[in-house]
């Protein structure tokens, strides 16, 4: 039997639906003998490329989402509180992720969950690099080295390359779960991802 490919999970740290899905995708992957490749990117970059209007410009959709995210979290019994500032820039968190991934992939994966929890359950301002450094340091990362990395051109270029890859591959929203080359958009598609994992595709 061919080796099972990893599940790619593309997200922006500021997406509440990505938060709701991230909390489950790791378990789902493990259950089906797959690993997860975490791919934080910047939604703003693909929105611009794709001509998508941000939610702040779509009041009806934004009102729906406000209600829906809370309903979704209640159903899954996931802690959720709207951040004081939303949406918010996520460059620092995403750059930190890619630096951590190079150092220690397991820690980087945990970092995803802790950052999401900080933003959407504890109202911590993860757009502030100091918050990102606090989180990573508490998890055992080298604060000074990470602080330097956040301003390092190589790390910035890595995130730029990831965003360019998102555009190239047509990843127009988040979360985007990719299994065997198949893209599934949204936290509400995890049932279909599971169907794919169980059936091997159709």
> What is the set of active-site residues?
15
Interaction pattern, residues 151-180, with its own copies; x per rule: CB under 8 A = ----------------x--xxxx-------
**Closest approach of its own copies to the CB of residue 29, in Å:** 20
Among 4, 156, 160, 189, binds its own copies (CB under 8 A): 189
**Closest approach of its own copies to the CB of residue 91, in Å:** 22
**Closest approach of its own copies to the CB of residue 75, in Å:** 6
Is 74 near its own copies (CB under 8 A)?
yes
DSSP the chain: -PPPPPEEEEE-TT-HHHHHHHHHHHHHHHHTT--EEEEE--HHHHHHHHTPPPGGG-HHHHHHHHHHHHHHHHHHT------SS-S---HHHHHHHHHHHHH-HHHHHHHHHHHHHHHHTT---TTSHHHHHHHHHHTT--HHHHHHHHT-HHHHHHHHHHHHHHHHTT--SSSEEEETTEEEESGGGHHHHHHHHHH---
Among 2, 3, 153, 191, binds its own copies (CB under 8 A): 191
Interaction pattern, residues 32-71, with its own copies; x per rule: CB under 8 A = --------------x--xxxxx---xxxxx-xx--xx--x
Query: Which residues contribute to the site for its own copies (CB under 8 A)?
Result: 46, 49-53, 57-61, 63-64, 67-68, 71, 74-75, 167, 170-173, 182-183, 185-186, 188-189, 191-192, 195, 202
């Amino acid at each position: 039997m061919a080796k099972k490919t990893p599940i790619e999970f593309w997200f922006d740290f500021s997406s509440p639906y990505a938060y709701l899905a991230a909390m489950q995708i790791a378990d789902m992957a493990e259950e089906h003998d797959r690993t997860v490749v975490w791919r934080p990117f910047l939604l703003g970059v693909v929105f611009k490329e794709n001509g998508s209007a941000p939610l702040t410009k779509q009041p009806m959709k934004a009102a729906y989402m406000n209600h829906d995210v809370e309903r979704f979290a209640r159903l899954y019994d996931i802690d959720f509180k709207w951040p004081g500032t939303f949406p918010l820039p996520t460059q620092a968190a995403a750059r930190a992720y890619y630096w951590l991934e190079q150092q220690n992939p397991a820690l980087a994966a945990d970092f995803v969950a802790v950052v999401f929890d900080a933003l959407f359950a504890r109202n911590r301002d993860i757009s502030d690099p100091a918050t990102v450094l606090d989180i990573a340091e508490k998890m055992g990362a080298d604060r000074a080295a990470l602080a330097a990395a956040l301003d390092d051109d190589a790390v910035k270029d890595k995130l730029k390359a990831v965003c360019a890859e998102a555009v190239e591959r047509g990843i127009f929203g988040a979360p985007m779960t990719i299994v065997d080359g198949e893209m599934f958009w949204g936290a509400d598609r995890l049932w279909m991802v599971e169907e794919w994992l169980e059936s091997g595709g159709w």
